[in-house]
Structure 1
Amino acid sequence: MSKHSESTRVTVPALQKMKRAGKPITMLTCYDATFARLLDACDVDVLLVGDSLGMVIQGEDNTLGVTLEHVIYHTRAVLRGTERAHVVADMPFMSYQTSDEEGLRNAGRLIKEGGAHSVKIEGGRRHASLVRRLTEVGIPVMGHLGLTPQSVNAFGGYKVQGRRREQSRVLVEDALALQDAGCYAIVLEAVPRDVGRHISETLDIPTIGIGAGPDCDGQVLVIYDLLGMDEAFKPKFVKRFDSLAGRIRRAVGEYVEEVRARAFPDEEHSFARSAKKAKASASDDEPSAPAQGKAVSAVAAAGGDDDDDNDDDKPRLAETIPLYPGVRGK
């Protein structure tokens, strides 16, 4: 079991307390259980199931085609991999813009069906009434200002926002309106550093920056960008902490070469027919499989009977090799 428990789950009050204490908030996007387990083990405070999945998972040019069902599906997966992190689900394009009633209904689905702990919406004061409705029924809301990707067509592309005096004034007013409506935190994306600092100092709630300078109360990045999974994508605000694209290519390339040369699987990665031989070896590697907490039958794997069928005193291989050990159940 992980060292974390439900009692240590990062909550909305905990995030707001971090701002008051001057402790930076860490947030990353996440779309599946495997990454969620890794990020949770690193004590990342917030995992955002972002509509950015449309671009980094689905290969689209923007986030506009992501549906509520997509976000629910990925939120459920991320939740299964976490014990500590606060999980935020993005409300995708047109899931809340038509009416507050539809926004309330769809946010409820993200909480009930997806298991999200809070939701994130893009836009300023025009969504203040929706934020109030959501907070009134107990759904915490994270706001998102600056470069809001769902408005990419209106912006004419992915451009820095708030450079002009009037733009920065509107951003500050929108941030205050969202805070007054009940948002517990606000993402600031692609705004000048001084604007990010001013908004962070003005608000009582945390700001989480992405391309908004170091003075925000926290930072967020897309996990694939942080890891260098797309070598062609090099925005100014992203620091690559690794370059996994090359490492993945090398590893997969070695696999392809070994399979074609019949070097893999070798004896070390193959099962013996005899249970006695299997026990004599250090240990046969457990096979990957979706089932958890079960045992693999060497008889079925080999397509025949065990050599020690008549020895009732010796444990069968099927009783001694766990199929998928060490994975916590949910």
Structure 2
Amino acid sequence: MPDVAKPKLTLTRLLEMKAAGEPIVMVTAYDFPGARAAERAGVDAILVGDSAAQVVLGYESTAQISVDELLTLARAARRGAPATFLVCDLPFGSTEVSDAQAIETAVRFVREAGADAVKLEGGGPERLERIRAIVAAGVPVVGHLGLTPQTATMLGGYRAQGRTVESARRLVAETMAVQDAGVCALVIEAVPTDVVAKILPRVAVPVIGIGAGPADGQVLVLHDLIGITEGRTPVFVKRFAELGTAMADAIADYSDEVRGGRFPADEHQYRSAPEAVAAARAAIEEGGGVR
């Protein structure tokens, strides 16, 4: 794995990459080792996504993770990747009450976790108000359209968007609206490639695709791409490794060696000087008391 030394990536650099046609690489990370590996691999941006609810914390949906839980993960990711552009999701329920609540949540991710931007799902009127308010407070916002997992039940479940006339028109309208509201970048999830291709030329900010075909950049869930997640994965996921199987095999080998008396071997044990052993024996014979 390459260990890439690079300056901190900025919003200006992201815009330059879009203008130059340089693909932007984003991956999720939720802890110190994952973020450190991502930074060493040379990714451009890390998303501390609310997908952590499922792939890290074992919840059934992304809507169940709390602000404090995601902040803990975000702080760890920042420590692991101090030079990478860090985007943090705003969890479900943390922005819906008011602009003031949304601003407070966004500021916490910047102040407490060192986020460079926050991500907010949706493009309806209320979401646009929240985007404007957070941007006005000085926090960059990444939009998220198409399949929005926090409100997937309202979309009929985890299914591709933009496949009908009505859905495609809504996606175009919401894209223009969030851009006008001031987003610094946009994630589009689970939308047909040909629909996204029509949108891209009209968007001035970087568009990061996930199940949306070629775009200005791509993002995948780390646990999906390295093969830790189980069960059926979305069609847009490519597994670049099968670490889940390797982890299980390693733990099984460890268990076998412990049960078979082969671990710990001599090379895994500490040795004392003879006089220390003699002193321990003497202390035991004297009753084991500490003087």
- Taking structure 1 as the reference length, the TM-score comes to 0.80
Are the structure 2 counterparts of residues 137 and 229 from structure 1 closer, same or farther at C-alpha, using a change threshold of 3 Å?
same
Distance 2:238 2:261 in 1: 40
Query: What's 2:65 paired with?
Result: 66
Distance 1:174 1:304 in 2: 77
Aligned partners of 1:162 and 1:195 also within 8 Å: yes
C-alpha deviation, 1:84, in angstroms: 2.1
Q: CA RMSD in A?
A: 1.9
Query: What's 2:226 paired with?
Result: 227
1:271-292: per-residue Cα shift (whole Å, max 9, x none)? Answer: 22249xxxxxxxxxxxxxxxxx
Query: What's 1:155 paired with?
Result: 155
Structure 2 unaligned regions, length at least 5: 281-291
Are the structure 2 counterparts of residues 304 and 204 from structure 1 closer, same or farther at C-alpha, using a change threshold of 3 Å?
farther
Are the structure 2 counterparts of residues 151 and 59 from structure 1 closer, same or farther at C-alpha, using a change threshold of 3 Å?
same
Distance 1:108 1:268 in 2: 50
1:257-301: per-residue Cα shift (whole Å, max 9, x none)? Answer: 1111121121222222249xxxxxxxxxxxxxxxxxxxxxxx8xx
C-alpha deviation, 1:3, in angstroms: 6.0
Pairwise mapping of residues 20-31 of structure 1 onto structure 2 (< 5 A)? 20-31=19-30
1:119 aligns to what SS in structure 2?
strand
Q: Runs of 4 or more off by more than 4 Å in structure 1? A: 302-305
Aligned partners of 2:4 and 2:42 also within 8 Å: no
2:174 corresponds to 1:174: yes
AA paired with 2:253? E
Aligned partners of 1:43 and 1:84 also within 8 Å: no
Pairwise mapping of residues 33-72 of structure 1 onto structure 2 (< 5 A)? 33-72=32-71
C-alpha deviation, 1:93, in angstroms: 0.5
Aligned length: 276
Are the structure 2 counterparts of residues 3 and 148 from structure 1 closer, same or farther at C-alpha, using a change threshold of 3 Å?
closer
1:113 aligns to what SS in structure 2?
helix
AA paired with 1:83? P
Query: What's 2:130 paired with?
Result: 130
Distance 1:304 1:10 in 2: 59
Distance 1:303 1:56 in 2: 52
Query: What's 2:240 paired with?
Result: 241
State the identity as a percent: 42
AA paired with 2:54? M
Distance 2:244 2:278 in 1: 39
C-alpha deviation, 1:190, in angstroms: 0.4
Aligned partners of 1:125 and 1:174 also within 8 Å: yes
Structure 1 unaligned regions, length at least 5: 276-298, 306-330
Pairwise mapping of residues 1-330 of structure 1 onto structure 2 (< 5 A)? 4=5, 8-126=7-125, 127-214=127-214, 216-274=215-273
- Taking structure 2 as the reference length, the TM-score comes to 0.90
Distance 1:209 1:45 in 2: 14
AA paired with 2:268? H
Structure with the higher fraction of residues in helix conformation: 2
Query: What's 2:286 paired with?
Result: none
Distance 1:123 1:232 in 2: 27
Of structures 1 and 2, the one scoring higher in RCO (CA 8 A, sep 6+) is 2
Query: What's 1:322 paired with?
Result: none
1:189-241: per-residue Cα shift (whole Å, max 9, x none)? Answer: 00000112222221010100110012x10001110110111241222110111
